[in-house]
Structure 1
């Protein structure tokens, strides 16, 4: 076994101390591999370069996986103190080309690489300590503190692979050869592809929470589909097979590309796959850290748009309709191959988990009952957009892992690659990327009668987000006016300057749009990408659809347009960002007004936020806080509450008094009022609350 290979941790067992040691070994192995792959960067200066414009410099990714551990452990209240608040802010968000991924280099002052190395060392020590000391009962379940540790490990496993893709896109002069990263050295003529019959049948996808291997939220639940008999290619599409498409002018012929594909071509100028290099009229192949002669029998590396274009080309050429496989069809291929879940089969049978190579290898090297590379070598693009199964639930430690990708823009990749390990090589794993993204991904094709129709509006299936959509965009109830609109009116009344405002804890963004009626620029920030995705969709797509719960499993579907809200003229004034109110990035500053609605009693450390919020306001800027003061330990540890308890002398402590104590040195309290709001739970159940609005002017 390669020293880089290690099986994923199982969740069951009878010996807790042995399980701790298993997790420790897995954690250190993951940390070691991640740091090892950054040795391919020739110097520390290279860490500050981008491999492509839509990504951060390499130093971001080097710090990101370590800060993930700390941020999630803080969020789940497993630890109380940060290691480096600045790092845990600037390295927190920005990896998937989302609207709220801030890749503007002027917003960051990246630390020295040695400082990040030292930080990673401290995180390693802290997590190691937790693994040996956290309460542990077996099996490990999703509410166990150790689950959050495993989440951090599996998250870093993902970034091992995605970072290798980014390194592979860096100029060769910025890279060096690492002795342990052995590239496959054999190649020959590519085999001729052929089609294999796969019997149809009933497919049930998903797993339940008793499964003995770690899983991401999108893997749980159930989805069933009946699949007709279909044909699948014996091999992954090789460089040689794809070469026909390139030489026949496939990249220039628009009939093979859909609208998204044409946009990709226009922006990228692509004439061939990203890891092909044209030299002297011949194509060569970009491996991790060097150029090699084109290995014609290796799988081609392409994005989903290129794979789809090839299928249209081949369909026209052969007079047969080819497509990418669906997720359910791939499961039947998996079962035909006789594969079972990790760890029931070994890497020796496939090119994955770094067991054989740090590269692809010939498409006819690893066979499974007559089909090759069912798993391993390169990921395989599917025609299925990722979606949530019936029973899908987000995990509170990472509520935006999956839901932002339930947008019909992220296609599932299937089967794993040479650089996949951990959860990524498991039977039930589900990963998806935007169709134009380069990955260690290729494809195989099918002849199928299937037609993928996934109803995939997450805001209609995400109950909490839908509830907030109803609260902010729904009908008024019991004569109580829309809370977001009324808060924005208060803000506009008191602010002297109307240049720039911050809607902190913006949720689904209604107040952000309302503030833009009177401010030139408004930024909406929320901890949850699930929430800000609504505002982004409303701004970009012009509408948001959601389901307003009526009774039991019944719900009324609603749709609100930006025209109905009267916000078309102001939409370009708003932007949305994901952020932690207790640890905001330094570029969020220079506001005339900051409005934090119903936020203060939901922060894990509200005093931390209040102690520094003045630094983000202009002189004589205004801070507006609203809250019903419903303190609860699920959000804020009791020792950090600002009110709602008796002190040691038995005196009642009220939140407003603590706010006066904290803010009084830097702010003047200029206004207090009550403001009602109503949140609908069902057609016959509502929450009727009264928030206290306090308006503070910076001295």
Structure 2
């Protein structure tokens, strides 16, 4: 029998279930920062006290997620990675762990096969070794806080921002891990010390849930860039929105209310579900909310050795009840007055069951339901997470370890309960950046990959939300099938023909995107579409791929890729660098990667754009790819063309002769991770199309081998003065070159003036020592 887990087995510091308020970045001391760090770090470790044995760390509660040991180690790894990027530390703690635990899995599809990034049989490090890793990281961060001069206010440009990024990332994963622990078999968990469950009832049960009117208004969403608390990129900047009058339910929808939908066979009625929702319901064979337990052996969704487990087994102690309830760490009778926790699909099916006028609130409507806010100019006192009386107003920031009755906390000025706290609330809007949104160079891909039209917003925080998650500015996104401590309330417009202030994402990358799939009482949802603010997604179309293929392959041996290869190898030769391993960053459809394989033993092509990379892989494996000509005025030689039924032409792109496919590996990443390192040559030529240029440059010095060379190629008005602040002080310039295209036959007179400017760099230390 496995030995019961003790605190010494998983803690690198004190045990706690109490959450502090965040720091005021305009007026905080090192002591306050250190205390907040210690609280964040300890909270994340302490929730694992809910596991009974060490063995539970190596179980996968969700088939689309990794075992819990990954999430336990992941946050410490992110600290080190971000502090290295920011220049706050010069040495890593454990590069193997900082690579292994850097990247999890993204639940982009509910029907993915079991996704273990390392493979299902991977042997994870021992808990003892991971605890020692977390302890070493803890001590590193303590020293950074103690030794780094503190200049106030801390802003996004400050190196201290990297520390606060680590604190708030840790707090996100407190909630992430709590959801996963909640999905484990109840036999693997226990009640932690100091964990407190909420009461099942409070006063008279809220059997009725009336709709309350909200007058037409204008709301200000988003966070001022100079607000003195940490924020994630998607929270900035601010956006004014007009909100027509509407009604919304006084309470969150309760388990009692949702039971009627279940009893009415709502899970069996395809007509109540969206097309996407019904596919999910069918795949999961869902019969009730995921955190309800019945006695019919329902599919659990666990992974690995738990794949055959079912939470829904007969309970000999409570066999008189049809349903039971699974909280964070125990199974109980159903708390009927608590909010139901469901995904977006289930919430929308319930709304459809209630009637055609019912829907979820929009993001702007959720803002309109809130109390009159103190002006942001008041600083942190205008944000609820800094309120010293918050524990009396909302079930948030770990007041309890579960939900609470929807009528327990007082209504706000407009009559609504739980606008903040208890459970996250699904809204109708797709997740997207506000106009003018910018990513941060330390975490370029935190939000932007989810601006894709397949993620919906959740607002308001849950009982488990702390730090930034419990802020009034917090806005997070999940796939619509996602399980979270999330519920919903209903809304409806004041009149059937009234506008719905919803923002839906137009994402060119999703060729199958169907605005009509959105279940809203709108005649034309296309009028509500806004373009994704992730500029990188704009290239995820076949048209862009065809254009890219034309540029890389039709221009043949005199194109830029061929010229760049010659430049790279020439620079390496002049500076005494033997190139055995090369990285092509922004490899597009692979042409430069293929060209480099002529002379380099191992070449990795890294690309964020999936449609580009698939074209490269097809050429690499099949030796050719046929694509449609992207130009209306086709002036290429007839021998290259084949007439198609589209009254245009098709072109065949082939692997150039003399290249070496066995030397090539293609990888898709939205950043340059630790697992991509150790190169003699790095060629970077995608700066014109990435979200945050600095984010794609600041790791270059670390992935170079001694005496390695970086070649940065760009078009347009690039100058050394613009580039230098982005590459940082770890690289220095060797030489600047200009390479002419030389395409006299195919290019117009204007095109002939285009030059590719190439900067060649090395690590500063190498150059100085030479």
Q: TM-score range by the shorter chain?
A: 0.7 to 0.9
Shift of 1:282: 0.5
Give the equivalent residue in structure 2 for 1:173.
187
Q: What is the CA–CA distance in structure 1 between the aligned matches of 2:150 and 2:652, rounded to whole Å?
A: 54
1:405 aligns with 2:450: yes
8 Å Cα contact 1:581/1:609 also seen in 2: no
Most deviating of 199-208 and 601-610: 601-610
What secondary structure, in the 3-state scheme, does the structure 2 residue paired with 1:165 have?
A: helix
Q: CA deviation at 1:76?
A: 2.1
Q: Kindly report the root-mean-square deviation, in angstroms, between the aligned alpha carbons of the 2 structures.
A: 4.5
Q: Counterparts of 1:437 and 1:223 in 2: how far apart (Å)?
A: 27
Q: Measure the CA separation in 1 of the matches of 2:286 and 2:713.
A: 55
2:408 aligned with 1:329, yes or no?
Answer: no
The Cα shift of 1:328 comes to: 0.3
Partner of 2:154: 140
Is 1:117–2:127 an aligned residue pair? no
The equivalent residue for 2:756 is 688
**Contact preservation (8 Å) 1:675, 1:691:** no
Task: Please tell me whether residue 454 in structure 1 is matched to residue 510 in structure 2.
Answer: no
Matches of 2:727 and 2:374, distance apart in 1: 49
The unaligned stretches of length 5 or more in structure 2 are 1-15, 296-318, 376-381, 509-530, 569-579, 618-625, 628-648, 656-664, 687-695, 715-719, 744-749, 762-770
Corresponding position of 1:288: 328
Q: What are the equivalent positions in structure 2 for 1:464-483 lying under 5 Å apart?
A: 473=548, 483=560
Secondary structure of the residue aligned to 1:397 is coil
Change (3 A) 1:128 1:514: closer
What secondary structure, in the 3-state scheme, does the structure 2 residue paired with 1:86 have? Answer: helix
Q: Deviations over 1:500-527 (max 9, x none)?
A: x9994542733289869x99x997535x
TM-score, normalised with respect to structure 2: 0.69
Matches within 5 A, 1:251-650: 251-279=267-295, 280=319, 282-315=322-355, 321-335=357-371, 341-342=383-384, 343-344=386-387, 346-355=390-399, 357-366=400-409, 367-369=411-413, 370-448=415-493, 449=498, 450=500, 452-457=502-507, 461-462=533-534, 473=548, 483=560, 504-507=583-586, 509-511=588-590, 524-525=605-606, 531-532=608-609, 535=612, 576-577=668-669, 580=672, 583-584=675-676, 596-598=682-684, 602=697, 604=699, 606=701, 609-610=704-705, 634=725, 638=729, 641=732, 644=734
In 1: Cα distance, 2:186 partner to 2:130 partner: 24
CA distance in 2, matches of 1:451, 1:302: 23
Is contact 1:236–1:443 with CA below 8 Å preserved after alignment? yes
In structure 2, relative to structure 1, the CA distance for the partners of 1:108 and 1:415 (3 Å cut) is same
Normalised to the residue count of structure 1, the TM-score between the two structures is: 0.75
2-structure distance, mates of 1:222, 1:284? 43
On the 8 A contact 2:164/2:230 being kept in 1, the answer is yes
Most deviating of 531-540 and 395-404:
531-540
**Matched residues in 1 for 2:96 and 2:363: separation?**
41
Distance apart, 1:462 and its partner CA? 4.7
Unpaired segments of 5 or more residues in structure 1?
492-500, 544-562, 587-592, 614-623, 645-653, 657-672, 694-699
Task: Give yes or no for contact 2:360–2:428 (8 Å, CA) kept in 1.
Answer: yes
Once the 2 structures are TM-superposed, how far is the Cα of residue 289 of structure 1 from its aligned partner?
Answer: 1.2
* 1:161 maps onto 2:178 in alignment: no
Number of the residue aligned with 1:221: 237
Q: Deviations over 1:165-222 (max 9, x none)?
A: 0000011121122121111233374431110001111222122211122111111123
- C-alpha change, 1:115 and 1:585, in structure 2 (3 Å) is farther
SS of 2:44 mapped into structure 1: helix
Total equivalences in the alignment = 599
Structure 2: distance between partners of 1:512 and 1:305: 42
- Give the one of 80, 84, 87 matched to 2:90: 80
